[in-house]
């Protein structure tokens, strides 16, 4: 009963390095999301994918790219990491059938950029 799985859980990068956060869900959900969480700022939406094959920008997309690889997987890429991207990143998914449904979250990925 995995739900939403994110990897890696922890990562330390140097400024300018690149990396990809992976997310996979096994609940057959259509929509997937990437959020970042900083102290005192709640969860801010980076990108989302309403369905397979589509992606859209959220509140804070600058410095990130995403790929909806298939229905299960939604990855987040930092092409040139900056200290301002130090944060905890959460992937989430939800079904779109039967009206509005809640988000299910992964356990988070803590990223530190030095």
Partner 1 sequence: EDKVVQSPLSLVVHEGDTVTLNCSYEVTNFRSLLWYKQEKKAPTFLFMLTSSGIEKKSGRLSSILDKKELFSILNITATQTGDSAVYLCAEYNNNDMRFGAGTRLTVKP
Contacting residues toward partner 1, per CB under 8 A: 33, 35, 40-45, 48, 50, 56, 58-59, 90, 100-108
Q: From the CB of 37, what's the least distance to partner 1, in Å?
A: 9
Q: From the CB of 38, what's the least distance to partner 1, in Å?
A: 10
Q: From the CB of 18, what's the least distance to partner 1, in Å?
A: 25
Report how far residue 47's alpha carbon sits from residue 62's, in angstroms, rounded to the nearest whole number: 10
Report how far residue 80's alpha carbon sits from residue 68's, in angstroms, rounded to the nearest whole number: 20
Locus of tokens 């990562």: 11
- As a three-state string, the secondary structure of 60-77 is CCCCEEEEECCCCEEEEE
* CB nearer to partner 1: pick between 2 and 100: 100
Q: How many CB atoms lie within 10 A of CB 94?
A: 17
* CB nearer to partner 1: pick between 19 and 45: 45
Q: From the CB of 36, what's the least distance to partner 1, in Å?
A: 11
Task: Write the DSSP symbol of residue 50.
Answer: S
* CB nearer to partner 1: pick between 59 and 79: 59
């Amino acid at each position: 009963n995995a739900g939403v799985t994110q990897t890696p859980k922890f990562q330390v990068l140097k400024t300018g390095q690149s990396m990809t956060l992976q997310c996979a869900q096994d609940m057959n959900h259509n929509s997937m999301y990437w959020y970042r969480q900083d102290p005192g700022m709640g969860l801010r939406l980076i990108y989302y994918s309403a369905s397979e094959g589509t992606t859209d920008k959220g509140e804070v997309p600058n410095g990130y790219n995403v790929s909806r690889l298939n229905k299960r997987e939604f990855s987040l890429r930092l092409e040139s990491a900056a200290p301002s991207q130090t944060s905890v990143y959460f992937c989430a998914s939800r079904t779109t059938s039967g009206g509005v449904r809640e988000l299910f979250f992964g356990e988070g990925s803590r990223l530190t950029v030095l």
